[in-house]
Structure 1
Amino acid sequence: MTEQDAVEYIRNEWTAREQPGADHFAAMAALMRTHQLMIAELDRLLKGYNLSRTAFLLMATLLISRDHTRPLGQLSKHLLVHPTTVTLVIDQLEARELVVRRPHPSDRRTVLAALTEEGLRVVTKAAQELGAANFGLPGVTDSMAQRLTGVLGQVRGKLGDT
């Protein structure tokens, strides 16, 4: 007897019990299961760098920003986390000398976060390792990743993510 896919099992049982929205319930379950599996792999890989996912994503955001610098408020909006979370993560990264805070050159109310040379080295090395592991999606081809990104982009659009 072949083991049934967990999401298909959920969909079938949900339908059998005449619950509403079986396809959407299955989509939610599939997305959540995928997320859990992916973050477990990311956490495993980032452990060697002593980085949380939020710290890595914050540093990755700085990596792709002009001059490896971004205002703290923009980091909060970009990462979809509370400003307090950004402050705490910046504190941790600053203690490790991976990130520094700087005043904004023209707006004294704005504080910038910037990667240090060591931060640049660490995030680049971590990104290379995560990239080699398909960012927590082992076995997913480039083509599958592109299709997944497209479908999730459509879903995010329906949810108001711009």
Structure 2
Amino acid sequence: MARIKRLQVDPIAEAKRQWLAHGWEDAAAGMALVTSITRAQQILQARVDETLRPFGLTFARYELLTLLRFSRAERMPMASASARLQVHPTSVTNTVDRLEASGHVRREPHPTDGRAVLVVLTESGRELSEKATDALNAEVFEKPGLSRADTDEVVRLIARMRRDAGDFEDPRPIPDAL
């Protein structure tokens, strides 16, 4: 990954200082939170993209392959994939189109619902998902840039934010806390 020159000052801390100086005290912490998370996402996404590039995958394609690999029969309705990946059905269709063109998935008619289409993982898709997961584990997930305790705390806080925003409900029975 190309390294950028380190800045002499943290631009987010400077932005917060400016928010405070302009009298926006009530918004300063939230602005710093939003821009910090956005920047952290950019940093992590760049690492993921760099790791997946040799496999010819985007993160969206990787996620779909891995979702299928983890499903019981390595197949699911496209609508279910859309819901589980939390993306618009058009995004899943485009992702499936690309993966199907490269032979990593195929479409099949749903056996009981004539309106639905199943997306099915192929052997090459399974192998690609496994190799890409090994690379992501080694290059990104095992070394996210924070200690294990800090990583667990950030995930816990963001999960609470997501739940409170309506992203998901606590399942019953409740699994171990993030």
Fold match by TM threshold 0.5: yes
Whether the aligned pair in 1 keeps the contact of 2:68 and 2:76 (CA below 8 Å) is: yes
Closer/same/farther in 2, CA of residues 146 and 23 from structure 1, 3 Å limit: same
Matches within 5 A, 1:13-52: 13-19=18-24, 20-52=26-58
Structure 1 runs of 4+ aligned residues shifted over 4 Å read none
SS in 1 for 2:106: strand
2:116 is the alignment partner of 1:110: yes
| SS of corresponding position for 2:136 | helix
Q: Does 1:5 find its partner at 2:16? A: no
Q: What secondary structure is seen at the aligned counterpart in 2 of 1:70?
A: strand
Equivalence for 1:58: 64
Note if contact 2:48-2:140 (Cα within 8 Å) is conserved in structure 1: no
Post-superposition Cα deviations, 1:119-148, rounded to whole Å, max 9, x if no partner, equal: 000011101100112339643233222212
Tell me the percent identity: 32
Please give the alpha-carbon distance, in whole angstroms, between the structure 1 residues aligned to 2:79 and 2:143: 30
One-letter amino acid of the structure 2 residue matched with residue 18 of structure 1: G
TM-score (norm 2): 0.83
Q: 2:90 aligns with which of 84, 94, 108?
A: 84
Task: Say what the alpha-carbon RMSD is for the aligned residues.
Answer: 1.8
Count of residue pairs the alignment pairs up: 161
**What is the rounded CA distance, in whole Å, between the counterparts of 2:36 and 2:20 in structure 1?**
16
- Cα deviation per residue 1:51-108 (whole Å; 9 max; x = unaligned)? 1111111112112111111210011122222211111110110111101112222222
Task: Give the aligned residue type for 2:136.
Answer: L
Distance 1:41 1:18 in 2: 37
Q: TM-score normalised to the size of structure 1?
A: 0.91
- In structure 2, relative to structure 1, the CA distance for the partners of 1:150 and 1:138 (3 Å cut) is closer
Unaligned runs of 5+ in 2: 1-6, 169-178
For the 8 Å contact 2:52–2:132, the answer to whether it is kept is yes
1:77-156 residue pairs with structure 2 within 5 A?
77-135=83-141, 138-156=144-162
Amino acid aligned to 2:62: F
Q: Whole-Å Cα distance in 1 between the matches of residues 108 and 44 of structure 2?
A: 34
Alpha-carbon distance in 1 for matches of 2:54, 2:35: 30
Q: Secondary structure at the match of 1:100?
A: strand
**Higher helix share goes to which structure?**
1
